[in-house]
Structure 1
Amino acid sequence: MHLHRKIVILIAILLLAFLAKGQQQDGSVLERRVTLRIQDQPLESILAQISWQAGVYFSYDASVVDSEKKCSVEAENKSLFTVLNQLFEPAKYSLIERENQVIISLKPDKPQTDEAIADSIPVKYFFLSGKLLEDRKGKPVPYASVSVFNQPIGTISNSDGEFLLKLHPDNINDTVVISSMGYAQIRLPASKLLDEDLFILQPISIRIKEVTVTAISAQKLLENIRHNLERNYTAHPRLMTAFYRETVKQDGAYINVSEAVLEILKSPYVNTFRSDLVRLIKGRKSPDVQPFRWLNFKLQGGPFTIVQLDVVKTMESFISKAFENSYKYEVSRVVLYHEEPVYVLTFTPASDDVFPGYIGEMYVHRESFAIVHASFRFNKSSLNEAVSFMIRKKPPKVKARPTYVQYSVNYQQYQGKWHLSSAQASVKFKIRSKRDRLNSEFHSVSDLLITNIQPTELKRFSGDERFSRDDVFVEKLGQFDEKYWENYNIIKPDEDLRNAFKEK
């Protein structure tokens, strides 16, 4: 039996209880919507009407703002940002927030120094939210990428197609890119997201008929992947900000929700022997989700383990030259992925002796040969063998077996290099206990979303602050509190998860 490097989510079954509560987010007051139809009225009067509708106050120097100037404005459910930029030239005036107040002032002739910025009023981020729907059927588009063009800033939509993107005011005029496989890409100024709630994605054909997929063999494609690793992926360390969420359902009902903002010290891709390090910035567990009477799950390894899903960095068995003969490969087709042509390289274990044996596919960029997506699952024989190493703890006389183990990982390009952008692990277990009359299915899902990437000179995190493979994530977290995430980008909870967060 071949024993490959294992990408597994270790499960510990313990007696434990949790609860959950909802959350509130406060973004910029400039996101608030107003409706106005005003012709030739003094600016002072228009601001008074906006103030009444939006519940904000305006301050300005009468020597630089002509409050008697007559203006016209028409806006149907538009953001304050849009309306005020109609009334005040963006190149000339600044809009500065201070709690529930908007200060209108002339922009300085010279850019502020870093010291002046540090001493100024704290910046309020824009919280841009919306819902993605398919054009033809009006169905939600889940897990679509919503990111700032050519910036390492972004999020993804949840299972209901909803997203929340938090942007610094300096990025509000940047371009936001909304993309999902099988749909035409949307590009629009970030400020447009302040005025719109629904975004319609147009389905497109993802298969490229004119490309002959037999033009390259699976073996040659694998060689090109490995040969171009240094060119496609960064050779320098990076400090990544990430959002991580663990959820556990028992028979379809949430029993555990845990979330955190993390920092990942990403070692160079060319050094596969140097592990990536993970540390907690802030995290919480939801204390109101009522567990089943007998059992609860804990995911062991948590963020440390899911970071190992970067299969390019770890050179997982289905990529590694050393294990190439353990798999059968096929270039099945060429499709459009985020409007770029990619080869779809499928793989299956060559025999049942391969353990863990993965069935899956990789999307390989046709021009650069970078892996941009991989999804894979345990085959049947590996599921049968997985009990011995996936179950770390369980009560006596309880039988547990995995029935489904699925992983996926995505990459995005930034400054000419491909980086890890998101990963997910989905594991289902069947639990039985005659003594407790228990026959349940537990489903754990772990999501990782990279929300920012920066160069770094850091070499390591201290031992007491970094996660290890033996850590149980929920044991490191505090309880829920309001307005928890501040300006960090997260995956917006879907409706079921929001219901799980509601106070009982």
Structure 2
Amino acid sequence: MEISIIRRKNISKFLLSLAGLLFLSLQAMAFQPADIKYVEFKGEVVNERNGKPISSAYLAVQDSNISTITNSDGEFSLKIPEDLTNARVTVSVLGFQSKTLPIDFFKSEKTRIELSEVVEELSEISLYKATNPSLLVKEMLDKKDENYLSDESLMTSFYRETIKKGWSNVSLSEAVVKIYKSSYNNSKKDLVSLYKARKSTNYDKLDTIALKLRGGPFNTLYLDMMKYTEYVLRPEMLDSYKFTFDEPTKINDRYTYVVNFKEVDESDPWYFGKLFIDAETSTLVKAAYSLNVDDREAAAQMFVKKKPNGAKVYPTELKYEVDYAQNNGKWHYAYGKAQMDYVVNWKRKIFNSKYKINSEMVVTDWQEYAGNDYRKNTDFIRPNIVMVDDVSGFYDSEFWGSNNIIEPEKSIQNAIDKIKRNIDNN
């Protein structure tokens, strides 16, 4: 992913780069047949013990490919076709017991779902046979073709990116996207088109600079470690990592190994994190990892391409997460999230500027796809899109139609409400 920081007085730029990320164009195409009617359900997922909201809880409609995820406040919005009157929804998240509920349980507003924390002692369960974490990771990679989608698929997803200076939202972009995902045993890159998108910026809060994120949806799609093993877990470079077992857990009520990984060579920014591997099938079902950037000089050389005189820019924290979902015995990318903190230091200034960049994408629907007609009907743009530059502004409340989205967080919702008021006043 790339970041541009524009100095508002003389329009000089910073360019920061994480290798290998693409981004694609705004595309007007129909996602759903117009005659299908949808029902929207809203609510929250909370901890049964203390009532605290549970973020990143995954809601999947059984016997369909429809899904969504909760925001940082534990809130969700789920839209399903009216004819799925007998549907059941499974709610799951790491560290909690999954729960499956009939659609009759859900209300149009304020459905409250309580999940219980996992308290079962897992370390003694005989199902856990692996004794060597390195061999387990190798088996996980070797079984990629067996465990993950082997056919092309067409995925509908929702993407959001936010940029904050301190605690203030200065940039917000959202999009419903189509992902043309090649099979996991194929080296072809995935393609993306933007169906609907909206953005807002408030650069007055940025004082002398404007920070922009390059990469759009691919910033999160390329976190798919099993599709893009070349970015983190290259099979031929497993010896460059140290693997250790952590305490096992449960995900979606399935027993799961937890493997810590860490790059041995720390001379450059290096990866470390956790792999969550299904105990029965050796499938990667989740990964949470970071890039260590303690060496500021090395990080600056890695990320900064251009910058104005008198300024230093470097990342202070880079965190990533990817989750997979299962359908008919095959797994696929379901959710990706990147959290990035940056600092801008200016000469002759006492205080620096701190920025937080968050981007996340959830797959809300998908279907098998066997054809090439999308290449004729879809425009794919150059790999340098900046969402806040290349999409339109905010629209009315019906803008997203029947598409599932991630419910806005409170701070983001406040920003959206302010934008709408300003539009109405004008």
Q: What is the distance in 2 between the residues matched to 1:437 and 1:465?
A: 47
Q: CA deviation at 1:468?
A: 4.3
The answer as to 2:327 corresponding to 1:335 is no
Q: CA deviation at 1:463?
A: 10
The answer as to 2:194 corresponding to 1:280 is yes
Q: What is the distance in 1 between the residues matched to 2:103 and 2:177?
A: 25
Query: Would the alpha carbon gap of residues 15 and 124 (structure 1) be closer, same or farther in structure 2, given more than 3 Å must change?
Result: farther
2:99 to 186, 190, 202: 186
Contact 1:179–1:186 (CA under 8 A) maintained in structure 2: yes
2:274 to 361, 378, 381: 361
Query: Would the alpha carbon gap of residues 298 and 464 (structure 1) be closer, same or farther in structure 2, given more than 3 Å must change?
Result: farther
The answer as to 2:251 corresponding to 1:259 is no
For 1:147, the aligned partner's letter is: A
The answer as to 2:8 corresponding to 1:12 is no
Q: What is the distance in 2 between the residues matched to 1:153 and 1:201?
A: 21
Write out the 4+ residue segments of structure 1 that deviate beyond 4 Å after TM superposition: 287-290, 381-384, 435-438
Residue 160 of structure 1 is matched in structure 2 by: 73
Counting only pairs closer than 5 Å after superposition, residues 349-428 of structure 1 correspond to structure 2 as 349-353=263-267, 355-380=268-293, 384-428=297-341
Counting only pairs closer than 5 Å after superposition, residues 55-454 of structure 1 correspond to structure 2 as 122-194=35-107, 197-205=111-119, 207-211=121-125, 215-271=130-186, 273-287=187-201, 291-316=205-230, 318-353=232-267, 355-380=268-293, 384-434=297-347, 439-454=352-367
Q: Normalising by the residue count of structure 1, what TM-score does the alignment of the two structures yield?
A: 0.73
Q: Normalising by the residue count of structure 2, what TM-score does the alignment of the two structures yield?
A: 0.86
Contact 2:193–2:378 (CA under 8 A) maintained in structure 1: no
Contact 2:70–2:407 (CA under 8 A) maintained in structure 1: yes
Contact 1:12–1:297 (CA under 8 A) maintained in structure 2: yes
Counting only pairs closer than 5 Å after superposition, residues 462-477 of structure 1 correspond to structure 2 as 465-477=379-391
Q: What is the distance in 2 between the residues matched to 1:217 and 1:480?
A: 52
Contact 2:154–2:180 (CA under 8 A) maintained in structure 1: yes
Q: What is the distance in 1 between the residues matched to 2:216 and 2:169?
A: 18
Greater alpha carbon shift after TM alignment, 420-429 vs 223-232: 223-232
For 2:283, the aligned partner's letter is: A
SS at 1:348 equivalent: strand
Contact 2:97–2:117 (CA under 8 A) maintained in structure 1: yes
Contact 1:317–1:323 (CA under 8 A) maintained in structure 2: no
Aligned residue pairs, count: 392
For 2:274, the aligned partner's letter is: E
Q: CA deviation at 1:293?
A: 1.6
How large is the Cα RMSD of the aligned pairs? 2.4
Q: What is the distance in 1 between the residues matched to 2:129 and 2:99?
A: 32
Query: Would the alpha carbon gap of residues 407 and 284 (structure 1) be closer, same or farther in structure 2, given more than 3 Å must change?
Result: same
Contact 1:246–1:258 (CA under 8 A) maintained in structure 2: yes
Structure with max Cα Rg: 1
Q: CA deviation at 1:309?
A: 0.8
SS at 2:403 equivalent: coil
Q: CA deviation at 1:124?
A: 3.2
For 1:10, the aligned partner's letter is: E
Structure 2 unaligned segments of length 5 or more: list them.
Answer: 9-32
Q: What is the distance in 2 between the residues matched to 1:344 and 1:156?
A: 23
For 2:39, the aligned partner's letter is: F
Contact 2:293–2:315 (CA under 8 A) maintained in structure 1: no
Q: CA deviation at 1:223?
A: 2.5
Contact 1:181–1:206 (CA under 8 A) maintained in structure 2: no
Identical amino acids, percent of aligned pairs: 30
Q: CA deviation at 1:426?
A: 0.7
Q: What is the distance in 2 between the residues matched to 1:147 and 1:383?
A: 41
Contact 2:92–2:251 (CA under 8 A) maintained in structure 1: no
Q: What is the distance in 2 between the residues matched to 1:356 and 1:152?
A: 38
- 1:26-48 Cα deviation digits (max 9, x unpaired): xxxxxxxxxxxxxxxxxxxxxxx
Q: CA deviation at 1:198?
A: 1.4
Q: CA deviation at 1:185?
A: 1.5
Contact 1:206–1:336 (CA under 8 A) maintained in structure 2: no
